[in-house]
Structure 1
Amino acid sequence: MIKTVVGSYPVVKGAPQNIMDKIKDKLGMFDEFKYAIEQSIYGQVEAGIDILSDGQTRGDMVEIFVSNLYGFEGKRVVGKIEHTKPITLNDIKYSNKILKSLPNTQNKSIKGLLTGPCTIASSIRIENNNHYSDNKDENLIYDLAVALKKEALDIQNEVSTIQIDEPILSTGMYDLDMAKKAINLITEDLNIPISMHVCGGVSGIYSELHNFNVDMLDFEFASNKKNLEVLEDINKKIGFGCINTKLKTVESVDDIKSLIGEGVEILKNNSKFNGINGNMVDKLNNFVVIDPDCGMRLLPLGVAQQKLKNMCMACDEFENEIKE
């Protein structure tokens, strides 16, 4: 099974190491986040991740986008929101450069990450604005979707897949029909696989999420075991979150493997899963991607790294066992 990450990784900023770096630092040109990206890629490769991220090192999932979209001052909306330049493209290109410089990484790739329009909208301030009435204004969601679509088009040729993060959808705060229209606007012209990550409990909404124009739905199963019940009916490829990123304790390989096994037993009752040609390994490789529950930015570096290592080891051991 393919192993990936949801996105963020602990940030380890770099410091000037040589004369040229120190000159750049004095001129305000030294990029302390390049080191963080490097460490993110090295750590993910060492753990055994197949589809990597750049680590989302330059800010949280909302900050990265609002700080680069026209119409914002911080997280306050001050005008009509527009996309004026690529936001994540340079870090993706740098990640690809680092990845290609490492041995035995020919089959690994970088994913693109977009924070979804509803999640961004829920985290910003609308004050005395002539364009939008409040955080749920349909024009706000639409303009964010248009901006994110431009970002997706900018990065799609540099990544193997794009993940849209919409954790807010499980809260009921946003109308799912409006959210679907926004996501479909983003994805309609893309030519690579698209996944959507939704945090929290999804048993009440996953049937509606089926109708979103994405190829894969990514959910939490370690911290929300009730989500396991959706596996019986899910009709899209599933991102199976199997390590709890809210906890600083490291799950054992056996515990992770046990959770994967629980999920697979339920999938055996899924008609879409059973319709895939091949043996059980073939079915899983075509239907399941293994990843953490959510991003890992807030975890200590050593904890995050060990969680990823144990996750990859558990996945590989599980796959080997079902081959026997």
Structure 2
Amino acid sequence: MIKTVVGSYPVLKKQQPQNFKEKVLNKLGLFDEFKKSMNRAIEAQLESGIDIISDGQVRGDMVDIFTSQMYGFDGKKVIDKIEFLKPITLKDLKYTNEYVKSKNPNIGVKGILTGACTIASSIRVEKYYSDNKDESLIMDLAKALNKEALAIQNYVKVIQIDEPILSTGLYDMKIAKKAVDEITKGLSIPIAIHVCGNVKDIFEDLNEFNVDILDHEFASNRANLDILESCRKKIGFGCINTKLKTIDPVDSIKGLLSEGIEIIKQNPYINDDLDGNIIIDPDCGMRLLPESVAFGKLKNMVVAAEEIEKELYNK
């Protein structure tokens, strides 16, 4: 079973230039104050045994990373038609990909896009669109995100669309599906959608989305276990509770995984191909956790997943 992450990792304070070379780069406007955070995030994921890692999403929160680089925004205020200007995450993903390949060519990188509905829900509409639920706003965001996805797809193994707002019921699922259809146009790699929270009420809609993987949280939302029997996609199984600032014990992670696997075995769409259809990951991003806790959670998650595999397949 593949082990991955949802995305974000704890961020160090912005680094100041320390040596002569860094000070020169800073004078030239070339010093990257987030590089150390990115390196720490990459190394932590590699050391913990993650198979498909992220760049740590260190440059800002999940919305600001995108709104700060799209035309039509002033901060998180919409002041004009939303348009794609240039690739936003490409540089960091290229760097992460090169870094990883130099360490272990078998490790993959995940591209992460904050979904159109979640971005729309987090901004203030001042001009051009009527409000945060304006379908034109959502679709213009989706068109911009599609261009981002096309720019990064050659450097990643999978692209994940983050849409946590969907579990709240605040957005029309037909419009959300239309937006995901737009974002995924022309892509030739696997696509995941991550929706945290309780997804039981929207799960049948999500089953119809044009994605390969449905990724949800089960450690902090055990009610979601009920969806496993009828999922018609690969399952991203969130098994560590990212809301708690304590390290999940291996035995509790194994217990949750075992419970989920027993339900999944009854799923006619998955049958016996557990390895190919279950992806192990945290419930959500880990940006707000202490760094030592985030690493401990990932390490225990990998240990638990590997022990479960041994028990299932006598590996």
Measured against the shorter chain, the TM-score band is: over 0.9
In the alignment of these two chains, the number of paired residues is: 313
TM-score (norm 1): 0.95
Tell me the distance in 2 between the aligned counterparts of 1:226 and 1:71: 40
Question: Which residue pairs with 1:208 in the alignment?
Answer: 205
Q: Alpha-carbon deviation of 1:164?
A: 0.2
Question: Which residue pairs with 1:54 in the alignment?
Answer: 55
Per-residue Cα deviation, 1:271-320 (whole angstroms, up to 9, x for no partner) = 1111xxxxx5xx11111000000000000000000000000000001101
AA matched with 1:207: E
Q: How do residues 85-96 of structure 1 correspond to structure 2 at under 5 angstroms? A: 85-96=86-97
- After TM superposition, what 4+ stretches of structure 1 lie above 6 angstroms from structure 2? none
8 A contact 1:61–1:115 mirrored in 2: yes
Question: Which residue pairs with 1:310 in the alignment?
Answer: 300
Question: Which residue pairs with 1:295 in the alignment?
Answer: 285
SS of the residue corresponding to residue 219 of structure 1 reads strand
Per-residue Cα deviation, 1:105-149 (whole angstroms, up to 9, x for no partner) = 22111110000000000000012x1x2000000000010000000
SS of the residue corresponding to residue 78 of structure 2 reads strand
Q: Alpha-carbon deviation of 1:28?
A: 3.4
Tell whether 2:238 aligns with 1:237: no
Q: How do residues 164-203 of structure 1 correspond to structure 2 at under 5 angstroms? A: 164-203=161-200
Give unpaired runs (5+ residues) of structure 1. 275-279
Question: Which residue pairs with 2:248 in the alignment?
Answer: 251
Tell me the distance in 2 between the aligned counterparts of 1:10 and 1:86: 24
AA matched with 2:60: G
8 A contact 1:188–1:213 mirrored in 2: no
Tell me the distance in 1 between the aligned counterparts of 2:186 and 2:20: 46
8 A contact 1:231–1:270 mirrored in 2: yes
Tell me the distance in 2 between the aligned counterparts of 1:315 and 1:125: 42
AA matched with 1:314: A
SS of the residue corresponding to residue 44 of structure 1 reads helix
SS of the residue corresponding to residue 269 of structure 2 reads helix
AA matched with 1:234: C
RMSD in angstroms over aligned alpha carbons?
Answer: 0.9
Tell me the distance in 2 between the aligned counterparts of 1:15 and 1:228: 45
Q: Alpha-carbon deviation of 1:14?
A: 3.5
Question: Which residue pairs with 2:108 in the alignment?
Answer: 109
Question: Which residue pairs with 1:26 in the alignment?
Answer: 27
SS of the residue corresponding to residue 289 of structure 1 reads strand
Tell me the distance in 2 between the aligned counterparts of 1:71 and 1:268: 48
AA matched with 2:216: F
Give unpaired runs (5+ residues) of structure 2. none
Question: Which residue pairs with 2:223 in the alignment?
Answer: 226
Q: Alpha-carbon deviation of 1:263?
A: 0.2
| Identity rate, percent | 62
Question: Which residue pairs with 1:277 in the alignment?
Answer: none
Tell me the distance in 2 between the aligned counterparts of 1:169 and 1:23: 46
AA matched with 1:241: G
TM-score (norm 2): 0.98
AA matched with 1:44: Q
After TM superposition, the structure 1 stretch with the greater mean CA deviation from structure 2, 180-189 or 20-29, is 20-29
Tell me the distance in 1 between the aligned counterparts of 2:222 and 2:286: 19
Tell me the distance in 2 between the aligned counterparts of 1:284 and 1:38: 32
SS of the residue corresponding to residue 192 of structure 2 reads strand
